[in-house]
């Protein structure tokens, strides 16, 4: 039998809970706990936590074909084997073919894409599109006829100089814009329309901390979205138009910011 120690350091109680004590010290811990109900209750709670955590997360996931393909693709140096880089590469080709900002894209490709943007931008942009693009009479707060006021106002609210990109070469013209919430901060939404009434919304929101990301494409419920982050801002274009049309517009927006 061990004599029960009068005190036990908390660190050693953690080690007891995690099974990291020598058998001798372990016996001493048990003797100590038998005489100290408060410590014993705390230790019991920690043991219960460990049990619940292991029950919930202890099983090793079984690898699927996707996991193997991912590793194999990366191992071949083929970044194009993952969703994200496939898209970015496609975008880069578009730019190069267009004689555009290939160098900028190369820089964007080398950034680590923050996961968070992927979750927020496309959903916010798609929601903006679905809510506002269908409005007949009030799609925007400030119409294109007051473009100068519009961009100064929105620019002030999101903290940057803003101008409305001009995609007239693609047959789209500015409808106007409005202030929208994005990630609990003010964001700017601009709306464009072509001759056949197709509308596309552009969302610009503050994303401090992000130098830049690759370009991503997302299509859900018939709404296409291109989005990226650049220089502290997140950008997204959404519309129920073809991918190629949206890509052409994204090219123009990217080149003008």
Partner 1 sequence: MKSFETDMLAILPRLKRYARSLSASHADADDLVQDCLEKAFARRETWRGENLQGWLMTILTNLNRNRLRQAIATPHMVDYDAAGAVAAEHAESDPLARDRIAAALDRLHPDQRAVLMLVVVEGYAYGEVATMLEIPAGTVMSRLSRARRTLAAILEGGNIVEFRRNT
**Which tokens sit at 2?**
């061990």
Nearer to partner 1, 66 or 138 (CB): 66
Nearest-angstrom CA–CA distance, 21 and 17: 9
Nearest-angstrom CA–CA distance, 31 and 178: 69
Q: How far are the Cα atoms of 6, 38, 102, 123 from residue 31, in angstroms, in the given order?
A: 10, 14, 70, 57
**Residue 3 φ then ψ, to 5°:** -80, 140
Among 2, 34, 63, 168, binds partner 1 (CB under 8 A): 63
Nearer to partner 1, 141 or 211 (CB): 211
3-state secondary structure of 63: coil
The stretch among 11-19, 27-35, 156-164, 165-173 that binds partner 1 (CB under 8 A) is: 11-19
Q: Is 59 in the site for partner 1 (CB under 8 A)?
A: yes
Nearer to partner 1, 58 or 195 (CB): 58
DSSP run (H or E) holding 189: strand 185-194
Looking at residues 27 to 46 of the shown chain, list those that interact with partner 1 (rule: CB under 8 A). 42, 45-46
Q: Is 119 in the site for partner 1 (CB under 8 A)?
A: yes
Q: Are 200 and 191 in contact (CB under 8 A)?
A: yes
Q: Is 169 in the site for partner 1 (CB under 8 A)?
A: no
Q: Is 197 in the site for partner 1 (CB under 8 A)?
A: no
Binding residues for partner 1 (CB under 8 A): 10-11, 14-15, 18, 20, 42, 45-46, 49-50, 52-63, 67-68, 70-72, 74-75, 77, 79, 82, 112-120, 183-184, 209-210
């Amino acid at each position: 039998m061990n004599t029960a120690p009068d005190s036990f350091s908390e660190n050693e109680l953690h080690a007891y809970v995690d099974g990291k004590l020598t058998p001798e010290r372990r016996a001493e811990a048990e003797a100590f706990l038998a005489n100290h109900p408060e410590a014993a209750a705390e230790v019991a709670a920690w043991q219960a936590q460990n049990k619940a955590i292991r029950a919930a997360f202890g099983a090793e996931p079984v690898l699927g074909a996707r996991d193997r393909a991912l590793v194999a693709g990366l191992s071949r140096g083929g970044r194009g084997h993952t969703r994200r880089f496939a898209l970015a590469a496609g975008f880069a080709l578009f730019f190069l073919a267009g004689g555009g900002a290939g160098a900028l894209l190369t820089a964007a490709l080398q950034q680590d894409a923050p996961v968070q943007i992927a979750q927020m931008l496309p959903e916010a942009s798609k929601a903006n599109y679905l809510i506002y693009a269908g409005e007949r009479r009030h799609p925007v707060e400030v119409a294109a006829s007051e473009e100068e006021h519009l961009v100064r106002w929105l620019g002030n609210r999101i903290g940057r100089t803003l101008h409305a990109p001009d995609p007239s070469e693609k047959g789209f013209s500015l409808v106007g814009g409005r202030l929208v919430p994005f990630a609990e901060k003010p964001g700017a939404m601009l709306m464009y329309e072509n001759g056949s009434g197709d509308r596309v919304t552009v969302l610009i929101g503050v994303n401090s901390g992000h130098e830049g990301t690759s370009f991503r494409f997302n299509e859900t419920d018939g709404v296409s979205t291109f989005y990226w982050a650049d220089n502290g801002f997140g950008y997204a274009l959404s519309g129920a138009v073809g991918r190629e049309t949206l890509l052409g517009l994204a090219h123009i927006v990217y080149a003008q910011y």
